[in-house]
Amino acid sequence: MSIELRVHGNGSFQGYSAIARGVPERVLLPHSRRSERRISRVATAVDVDPPARLDNFYGTRVCAIDSDGNEVAGVKLPPIAVPLGTHTGWNVYRAQPRELCDRDGSLIPFARTRTEREDVGDPRPSLEDRYGSRETYVARVEAAAAALVTDRLLLPADAEAYVRAAKECDRF
């Protein structure tokens, strides 16, 4: 079943299949009929399986993503503004890899070096290409956190915690 791609308002929500852009091929993108919610037009507690009609489903909508596979909508906290990987709002069950887990997300880390990235066929730039050094990464986290503090979207103590975490990051 294909899902219609519709961009809403500012382009921040798209059809489910849009999450495939920017996500490495090795990451399984789940899709099943369970990810679609049926519109109930009958006030009853009994669910019909299979549904009596196939034209009454809500289309699944997910947030639009950037070239790294991270969501574009909302406040971009330092881990998204200065990413170390692709952060997803979904995850899959090990026993049922085509079914979505509820309320769980994933981090798909960027390769550390260009060679590592090329070896696994990851289209996303490596940490080495992206930041070059831990110092550059920390400086970008500091700048992102400071901008959020200035905009009154992040407390100074939380900004300090993000910077401290960047300095202690083991990915470099």
Residue 6 lies in a domain: no
* Count of domains for the chain: 1
3-state SS of the chain: helix, strand, coil percent to 5? 30, 15, 55
**pLDDT tens column, 43-76:** 344 444 666 666 766 666 677 889 898 988 899 9
Residue 89 lies in a domain: yes
Residue 62 lies in a domain: yes
**pLDDT tens column, 72-113:** 889 999 999 999 999 987 776 666 656 666 667 788 999 999
Per-position b or e across 7-32, b if 16+ CB within 10 A of its CB: eeeeeebbbbebbeeebbeebeebbe
Residue 122 lies in a domain: yes
* Token output for 131: 């930041």
Residue 39 lies in a domain: yes
Residue 158 lies in a domain: no
Residue 125 lies in a domain: yes
- Domain interval for residue 79: 13-130
Residue 73 lies in a domain: yes
- Other CB atoms within a 10 A radius of the CB of residue 81 amount to 17
**pLDDT above 60: residue 17:** no
